[in-house]
Amino acid sequence: MKKRNKKAIIPTANVNEIAYACDEVLSADDFTWVGADVDKSNTIVRESVSYFKDAMHRLFQDKVAVFLVVMLGIILFCAVVMPMISPYTFNELHSDHTNQGFFFTAPDGHMHIFGTDSLGGDTWTRLWHGGRISLTIAFVAVGINCIIGIIYGGISGYFGGMVDNIMMRIVEIIGGIPYLLVIILLMTIMTKGIGTIIIAYAMVGWVGMARLVRGQVIQLKEQEFIISAQTMGAGSFRILLKHLVPNTLSVIIVNLTLAIPSAIFTEAYLSFIGLGVPIPQASWGTLANDGITVFRYYPEQLMLPALLISLTMLGFNLLGDKLRDAFDPKLRR
């Protein structure tokens, strides 16, 4: 049988194990060793992305997450812009046309898109003005809670020992009392107003964030990069601010997203029971409180603020779940 002269280029030297479907085995002389392809090995196959950028990319690949971001963006935009471009103000009352339905046109020619309430106020303007107040209280209160919780939990988790024991006992005492009861007691003592609600909620709402940050710091402080920073002479507060806190941002962002609905509900509940913002200002809770008195005859006056409260709380809760999935390193591809 005629011998086949086949030549090939392969990157391995153990050629005696390779055989074709023929009678004779190829020898090492039939192959040429070319070595590794240096240019190909240095080629960047995938662009290097940061952890945060990769998480945002995966978040916006989820259609549900995109829908939630758009929905919440529309609500925030309307709460900021609509009271400014409306022909009516939130405290402008018209006693000659009260409790009017949708798309009511007033004698002055202006249309009330959502009608008027029992005092003759424009429901559209008061609804979005109330949303501005409710969202402002929620964002500011949660922001203060975040700052206090990060500082308190970071110090407690990093220093540990007696410092951690004392600080956590204080947290347990505060957390052992129902926070809503504490807020109601503070609201009955202090003067009603937006600032009072923010202060009352911020005094007890930071406990959950402090516990979360403490747990993350305890887990991270034994890592190699923290030991290296300590070896190079970095101070405690520099390690906290430059190394530990940035590595807990993903957990903090998710917790913030889930804390906003709780703050919105707390404000709505306080306003609903009469401990919210004073008249003539209105929040979603006070509008719901006003609407429940005329619910049998004009149900839209209760349903509209209740719908916005529900959509906002549901949107932030679901977005928090999507952010938790996006920031999970185990789901990175």
Say if residue 173 is exposed, middle or buried (CB neighbours under 10 Å; 0-12, 13-18, 19+). Answer: exposed
Please say whether the beta carbons of 52 and 296 come within 8 A. Answer: no
Q: Same domain, yes or no, for 225 and 313? A: yes
pLDDT, position 140: 92
* Residue 42's pLDDT band (cuts 50, 70, 90): low
- Report the pLDDT averaged over residues 105-132: 85
Which helix (H) or strand (E) covers residue 257, if one does?
helix 249-272
Q: Are both 190 and 307 inside the same structural domain? A: yes
8 three-state secondary structure? strand
330: pLDDT strictly greater than 90: no
* Whether residue 108 is found in the same domain as residue 129: yes
> Does 99 share its domain with 133?
yes
Tokens of 22: 């023929």
Instruction: Give the C-alpha distances (Å, rounded to integers) separating 230 from 226, 227, 237.
Output: 6, 5, 11
Same domain, 84 and 216: yes
Q: Spell out the SS3 assignment of 214-245.
A: HHHHHHHCCCHHHHHHHHCCCCHHHHHHHHHC
Phi, psi for 116 (deg, rounded to 5): -125, 160
Element (H, E) at 46: none
Q: How many residues does the chain have?
A: 333
Judged against a pLDDT cut of 90, whether residue 312 lies above it is answered with: yes
Q: pLDDT band at residue 329, thresholds of 50, 70 and 90? A: low
Calculate what percentage of the chain has a pLDDT beyond 90: 16
C-alpha–C-alpha distance, residues 293 and 73, integer Å: 31
Full domain range(s) for residue 23:
1-43
- Does residue 33 sit in the same domain as residue 129? no
For 98-141, give the DSSP string: -S--TTEEPTTS-EETT-B-TTS-BHHHHHHHHHHHHHHHHHHH
- Are 23 and 72 members of one domain? no
C-alpha separations of 46 from 37, 49, 53 in Å: 18, 9, 14
Q: Which residues contact 178 (CB under 8 A, 6 or more apart)?
A: none
Does residue 19 have a pLDDT over 60? no
Res. 24 pLDDT band, cuts 50 70 90:
low
- Name the least confident of 50-54, 61-65, 69-73, 255-259: 50-54
Tokens of 97: 């046309």
Instruction: Give 303's pLDDT tier (boundaries 50, 70, 90).
Output: very high
CATH code for the domain of 142: 1.10.3720.10
The pLDDT of residue 44: 65
Mind listing the pLDDT tens digit for each residue in 192-216?
788 888 888 888 888 888 999 998 8
Does residue 236 have a pLDDT over 60? yes
Mean pLDDT value across residues 103-122: 82
SS3 270: helix
Whether pLDDT at 241 is above 60: yes
29-33, 56-60, 231-235, 298-302: which has the minimum mean pLDDT? 29-33
30 with 174, same domain? no
Report the number of distinct structural domains present in the chain: 2
Mark whether 3 and 75 lie in a shared domain. Answer: no
pLDDT per position as a tens digit, 141-156: 999 999 999 999 988 9
Residues 129 and 27 in one domain: no
Q: Are residues 1 and 91 in the same domain?
A: no
Q: What is the mean pLDDT of the chain?
A: 81
The reply to whether 210 and 121 lie within a common domain is yes
Say whether 31 sits in a helix, a strand or coil.
strand
Phi-psi label, residue 33: left if phi above 0, alpha if psi -120 to 50, beta otherwise:
beta
